[in-house]
Amino acid sequence: MGVIIGGAFAAWAGVVGFIALSVAWGAEPEFKTFLAWAVGAIALVLAGLFAAWAGAVGTLAYIVRSDLLEIRWGWRRVLVPIGSIQRLVPGRTLDPPEVGGINWWGCHVGAGDVKRVGYTLFYSTHGSPDEILYVVTDGEAYGLTVEDQAEFAEAIQARAALTPVDALGEQRSLAVGPAALPLWQDRIALWAVGTGAALCALVCGYVFSAYPGLPEVVQLSFPSLGGIVRVGDRSELLDIAYLSAGIFAANVVIGAGLHTVERAAGLWLLASSALLQCVLLAAAFIAFSAA
C-alpha cells in the first residue's frame, strides 16, 4: 500500500509538472509563463522525491545476520549489532505511536517518542499498532513491521546467544548510492544551492514580469564599449533569464561533482552561482530601465 500511494503521488506530481511545462513551452513571455515554469519544475522535483520514497518502501527489508540486524530503506542502511538488542516489544501492548517524518498509509519513516520505549526510529509499513515490533537496544529503539513476530524474535535470540559479550559493536547508519554524496551532509553547500535557486527564480521572475511592458524595439546600451547604443528586438533581453537558469543548472551539476573530491572547490563553485545571479539581477534592472 505504501508503494501504491507513493507511486500515485509521484504520478500525480509528474502529470502536473508535464502539463505546466507544456503550457509554459512556447507561451508568450509574461509572469504567468514564469509561474508555469516554476510550478512545472517544483512538481517534477516532488515527483522524483515521491518516486524515490515509494521505491524505498518497496525495498524496505530487515535482514538478520549472524552478528547484526540490517535495516534497508532505499539508499539507507541501518546496522544494529545483535548484542545491543535488549528486548523486543510487540506494538499491540503499547499506545498507537505518533511518527514524525515521511508519513502516509503504508509508509512510516521517521522518529517518535513511544511511551515505555522512548525515542524510536521507525522504518515501518504498519497499518495498525498490532503490526509493529519495537526493537529496543542499549542506545535507541526501532519500530519495524514484522509479519511473523515470533519467528523474528526466535532468530534474534538464537543469534544473541552465540554473540560474544565483548563484541557488541556500534550502531551505524550508512548511505549508499546517490545518498552517499557528501553534498547532502554539507549544510553550507545546501544553503548555497538554495540561495542560488532563489536568486535565479528572482531574476527570471523579474525578466518575465517586466518583459510585456517593453516596446517591440529597444535600445541596448553597452557602457563598457564606450557607450555604444544598439537598437534591437526586445526578445534579446530574455537571454538574461535563460543565462541565469543555465548558469545555475551548470554550477549545481558541476559543483556537486566537484564537491565529492574537493569540498572547498565545490563550495566555491556553488557559491559563485549565487554571486552570478546577483550580477545578472543587477544587469536586468539596468537593461530594462534603460530600454
pLDDT per residue as tens digits for the range 100-145: 999 999 999 999 999 888 899 999 999 888 999 999 998 889 999 9
Percent residues over pLDDT 70 in the chain: 90
Whether residue 55 contacts residue 74, with contact meaning beta carbons closer than 8 Å, is answered with yes
Taking 80 as the threshold, does the pLDDT of residue 242 lie above it? yes
Pick from 113, 121, 164: nearest CA to 140: 121
Threshold 0.75, pTM exceeds: yes
Q: How confident is the model at residue 70 (pLDDT cuts 50, 70, 90)?
A: very high
- Range with the poorest average pLDDT among 60-64, 71-75, 117-121, 234-238: 234-238
Taking 60 as the threshold, does the pLDDT of residue 222 lie above it? no
Q: What is the mean pLDDT of residues 163-184?
A: 78
- The pLDDT, as a whole number, for residue 61 is 94
Q: What is the mean pLDDT of residues 18-45?
A: 92
Give the mean pLDDT of the chain.
87
Instruction: Report pLDDT digits (tens) over 253-281.
Output: 999 899 989 999 999 999 998 899 999 99
Q: How confident is the model at residue 225 (pLDDT cuts 50, 70, 90)?
A: very low
Taking 60 as the threshold, does the pLDDT of residue 227 lie above it? no
Q: Which long-range contacts (CB under 8 A, 24 or more apart) does 229-235 make?
A: 234/291, 235/29
Whether residue 155 contacts residue 133, with contact meaning beta carbons closer than 8 Å, is answered with no
Please return the burial class of 18, using the count of CB atoms within 10 Å of its CB with bins 0-12, 13-18 and 19+.
middle
